[in-house]
Structure 1
Amino acid sequence: MTHTLRLCLVRHGETSWNAEHRLQGHTDIPLNATGRAQAEATAALLAEHRFDAAYTSDLARAADTARAIGHRIGLIAHPLPALRERHYGAFQGLTYEEAQARHPDDYALFKARHPDHPLPQGGESLSAFARRIADALDTLVQRHSGEQILVVAHGGVLDIIYRIASGRPLSAPRDFRIPNAALNWLRHDAPARWSIEQWAEETHLGSARDELANS
């Protein structure tokens, strides 16, 4: 009996705030027309695969992407709030330039990926966010050992999962792509080994947005 879990990880489709380079965090912004088309394109590609279960962040941009895919693969995605994007506190709703201008000291630590600095007005630190995502992954492994599952989430979530699977430190600059609605395939082998099989598969999209600090 195999204990390998295979995971298809998808970032939500594009939103208007992605296009405007605004930090979304927990702000519930819907998909724009491009994002809805991306979700449908991803759904068409994933119709060729079989999944035992599907999960999504409970924010609309992820849940609506997951719903489009679910229609094609015959699964309803279970909402999992632990898969939400990082809470960006006072940065939410601001462009990166606005966040830097209004909160220069906090923004400098944010840009430097300081792991233990919480963002102002209730934002999460990078390390607290990473612990939340690691705990969510552990939950999925316990529930679905030996299965193949779909997870739809956010750019920051994918950033953390890539680092968990690759061993890349939280503080290291990002040098890998996280396009909207691309496919990312990972596997977990018992007892505790993650590996990346394929990352940022986006040929079905034509083009997709990838902000350096995803939201």
Structure 2
Amino acid sequence: MSRGRRVVLWRHGQTAWNLERRFQGSTDIELTEAGLAQARRSARLLAGLKPDAVIASDLKRTRATAAELAAVTGLEVSHDETLRETYAGAWQGLTHEEIVERYGDQYAAWKRGEPVRRGGGELETEVADRAAPVIERSVEKLPDDGTLVVVSHGGTIRTSIGRLLGLHPSTWEALGGLSNCCWSVLGESVRGWRLLEHNAGTLPEPVLGDDD
């Protein structure tokens, strides 16, 4: 019996703006040396899942992260700009403290789950509108027990997971963030996609019990 297809949503490695708590959005920031090391370590682990395909955002930080997985698997990476991080307009380049100081009401509304164009940028639902279909189309090309690795960004991954699981957008914030070079795993079930792992840095363990 096939275990069904899997989607591994892998966040890029560390950047200098991550360390400074600057909102990156679609700004094209490179990995730090530590970020590259994170990508190499994670790639060796993810290779153990024997992925069938890899798709990635076209920004430098995701390209470099995906390249490490390509190096150990021999797979070709397909880059797609629709997997980029949320465009956040005036927020991009600002630190967390600067955003709260200058856009406090907007920030609070976003955290409450309200539809907000942060800095005049994209709504979270618009990010899901562009990213989730790319993931779904890529999955459809896999064998029945195939694995797709999606190399993207924290916000794009969270909104895509929310959309693929059929959750209401106001609840997407309940999905916590991903650490650099950690990943989440979705698996096919008879009722659609199921969240198997979230913000993981080790290979998934089988679920042994009444909820497997």
Question: Do the two structures share a fold, i.e. TM-score over 0.5?
Answer: yes
% identical equivalent positions: 34
Match of 1:141 among 139, 142, 145: 139
| Counterpart contact for 1:187–1:197, Cα < 8 Å | yes
* Uncovered stretches (5+) of structure 1, i.e. residues with no partner: 205-215
Alignment-derived partner of residue 171 in structure 1: 170
TM-score for both structures, normalised by structure 2 = 0.84
Letter in 1 for 2:52: D
Match of 2:128 among 122, 130, 133: 130
* Deviations, residues 154-198 of structure 1 (Å, cap 9, x unaligned): 1012212332355543223435341111132212357x7111222
1:54-73 to 2 correspondence within 5 Å?
A: 54-73=54-73
Residue 31 in structure 1 maps to residue 31 in structure 2: yes
Moved more, 165-174 or 19-28: 165-174
State the alpha-carbon separation in 1 of the partners of residues 86 and 179 from structure 2: 17
Count of residues in correspondence between the two structures = 201
- SS of the residue corresponding to residue 25 of structure 1 reads coil
Quote the offset at 1:200 in angstroms.
2.1
TM-score for both structures, normalised by structure 1 = 0.83
State the alpha-carbon separation in 1 of the partners of residues 65 and 181 from structure 2: 8
- SS of the residue corresponding to residue 37 of structure 1 reads helix
State the alpha-carbon separation in 2 of the partners of residues 51 and 11 from structure 1: 16
Cα distance change, pair 124–168 in 1 and its aligned pair in 2 (3 A): same
Q: For the aligned residues, what is the CA RMSD?
A: 2.4
| Counterpart contact for 1:12–1:180, Cα < 8 Å | yes
- SS of the residue corresponding to residue 124 of structure 1 reads coil
Letter in 2 for 1:153: S
State the alpha-carbon separation in 2 of the partners of residues 104 and 164 from structure 1: 27
State the alpha-carbon separation in 1 of the partners of residues 125 and 28 from structure 2: 23
| Counterpart contact for 2:86–2:127, Cα < 8 Å | yes
Greater share of helix: 2
| Counterpart contact for 2:186–2:193, Cα < 8 Å | yes
Quote the offset at 1:49 in angstroms.
3.0
* Uncovered stretches (5+) of structure 2, i.e. residues with no partner: 204-212
Alignment-derived partner of residue 85 in structure 2: 85
1:5-24 to 2 correspondence within 5 Å?
A: 5-24=5-24
* Deviations, residues 113-153 of structure 1 (Å, cap 9, x unaligned): 312x32334x1012212222222222223333522211111
| Counterpart contact for 1:165–1:196, Cα < 8 Å | no
State the alpha-carbon separation in 2 of the partners of residues 91 and 177 from structure 1: 18
